[in-house]
Amino acid sequence: MTYQGTPHERGANRITGSEWIERYQGALMNTFGPPQRVLVRGEGAYVWDVDGNRYLDLLGGIAVNTLGHAHPAILDAVTTQLGTLGHVSNFFTSTPQVELAEKLLQLVGAEGRVFFTSSGTEATEAAFKATRRTGRTTIVVAEGSFHGRTMGALALTSKEAYRTPFEPLPGDVRWVPYGDTAALEAAVDDTVAAVLLEPIQGEAGVIVPPDDYLPAARRITTEHGALLWIDEVQTGIGRTGDWFAHHLSGVTPDLVTVAKGLGGGIPIGAFIALGDAGSLLQPGNHGTTFGGNPVATAAALAVIATIEDDHLLENARAVGDRIRADLADHSLVADTTGRGLLIGIVLTRPVSADVQKAALEAGLIINNPTPDRLRLAPPLILTAYQADDAVKTLRMLLDEAEAGVPGRGRQEGSRAEGGES
């Protein structure tokens, strides 16, 4: 029998968004707070909720949905691979696993070795363990950093509210202000195993360091025999208009961690170790059941091929620059930050939560990482037309926030035809 959709999709037993959220709260752990909407469908840069409302997705699952929603290339890669070989243990390999490792090394632009994971925090864990194999234990990390939530990754994540309930965390972490070369110079000595930096801090609100920061970090780590570890979990795989955000600075790191956008929505991460660092982890040092799964690696190959074929790096640069330029002169905007389609909007007043809520009501999904910053990380397929439409709505919402009346009116045409999903 052909699949006819869920009862909701068939129009039977229709359950509203608020009823689903009530059920969510009865069945799921309260780690994220109540969900904002119950999403049932996506296509391109749009998603629909269970109540039939359409949203332009300017967050892309927080920098994950590289190709938007329901992209045929991912669909085809995943279904073909699943119909051929869905999973093997790490006693074996599969052809997409090998191809993806080779492709990632080619994109990073250096020789090395790859360890696959299923998430960003696992990529951090793998790299953290690798640094211990240097015989040194100290890691220098930037204030404002976010590297994940497992115990090891949390030790390298700066936010006190995340850390304090779980202390003691793995130790020997030295904190430095982000973007401050002199502080880095003072913190790194011959006992340091690695310096870990995001090339643009994402969770902190899309903070871009000075141009000479990563080159300085490379010089300082080399001088002291320490590893330079760049966390590209949020910034990698084309998000900033380059394959990796550190490429613009011209440095070659020792360790690179990626996840989020790599699978375009299929869970996959990778720890890439370049040069000699590729042999830090040896048999028995680390492992995973799901990392490097054939379906996930096939999805990632499809994401990368589509970025190449559809010139999405160029699109990310052009559309990102357009959005930043078109918002920069609003009187509530102090600055626009980021590169490509990782965009920060710094407000002159701490009203980002109000603007985010009003945007959702108006049919735009955006994020407010700090009280005075908004973050956009839309699919790399976002068109100039969609960007212009979003900017028009955002400017209206910023006007309203400035006048103290955020949240009036839903975007024209943002309800799906017929009002049902």
Ligand X SMILES: Cc1ncc(COP(=O)(O)O)c(C=O)c1O
Nearer to ligand X, 1 or 161 (CB): 161
CB 119 within 8 A of CB 259: yes
For residues 235 to 264, the per-residue mask of contacts with ligand X, x marking binding by CB under 6 A and - elsewhere, is ------------------------x-----
Is residue 116 within the footprint of ligand X (CB under 6 A)? no
Q: Which amino acid is at 72?
A: P
Q: Which amino acid is at 81?
A: Q
Size of site (CB under 6 A) for ligand X: 14
To the nearest 10°, report the CA torsion of 135, 138, 140, 145.
100
Other C-beta atoms lying within 10 Å of the C-beta of residue 91: 5
Residue 313 tokens, joined: 């790096």
Kindly state the smallest distance separating residue 150's Cβ from ligand X, in Å.
8
Nearer to ligand X, 40 or 214 (CB): 214
Is residue 103 within the footprint of ligand X (CB under 6 A)? no
Is residue 233 within the footprint of ligand X (CB under 6 A)? yes
The single residue among 121, 138, 240, 421 that binds ligand X, judged by CB under 6 A, is 121
Is residue 178 within the footprint of ligand X (CB under 6 A)? no
Is residue 120 within the footprint of ligand X (CB under 6 A)? yes
Is residue 203 within the footprint of ligand X (CB under 6 A)? yes
Nearer to ligand X, 251 or 332 (CB): 251
Nearer to ligand X, 198 or 354 (CB): 198
Nearer to ligand X, 202 or 238 (CB): 202
Cα distance between residue 146 and residue 339, in whole Å: 18
Angle between helices 72-82 and 294-309 (to 10 degrees): 150
Nearer to ligand X, 51 or 198 (CB): 198
Residue by residue, DSSP assigns 68-121 as -BS-HHHHHHHHHHHTT-----TTS--HHHHHHHHHHHHHHTS-EEEEEESSHH
> Listing from the earlier edge strand, what are the strands of the sheet with 367-370?
333-339, 342-347, 373-376, 367-370
Nearer to ligand X, 154 or 397 (CB): 154
Is residue 156 within the footprint of ligand X (CB under 6 A)? no
For ligand X, the nearest residue by Cβ is 120
Cα distance between residue 223 and residue 231, in whole Å: 21
Kindly state the smallest distance separating residue 48's Cβ from ligand X, in Å.
25
Kindly state the smallest distance separating residue 338's Cβ from ligand X, in Å.
13
- Check residue 208 and report its DSSP letter: P
CA atoms within 13 A on the CB side of 219: 11
Is residue 389 within the footprint of ligand X (CB under 6 A)? no
Cα distance between residue 336 and residue 140, in whole Å: 28
Kindly state the smallest distance separating residue 325's Cβ from ligand X, in Å.
25
Q: Which stretch binds ligand X (CB under 6 A): 23-31, 133-141, 227-235, 313-321?
A: 227-235
Kindly state the smallest distance separating residue 267's Cβ from ligand X, in Å.
8
CB 299 within 8 A of CB 77: yes
Is residue 61 within the footprint of ligand X (CB under 6 A)? no
Q: Rule CB under 6 A: which of 132-151 touch ligand X?
A: 146-148
CB 214 within 8 A of CB 163: no
Nearer to ligand X, 195 or 333 (CB): 195
- Check residue 246 and report its DSSP letter: G
Nearest to 266 by CA among 222, 230, 296, 305: 296
Kindly state the smallest distance separating residue 269's Cβ from ligand X, in Å.
6
Other C-beta atoms lying within 10 Å of the C-beta of residue 358: 24
In the complex, the residues that contact ligand X under the rule CB under 6 A are 119-121, 124, 146-148, 198, 202-203, 231, 233-234, 259
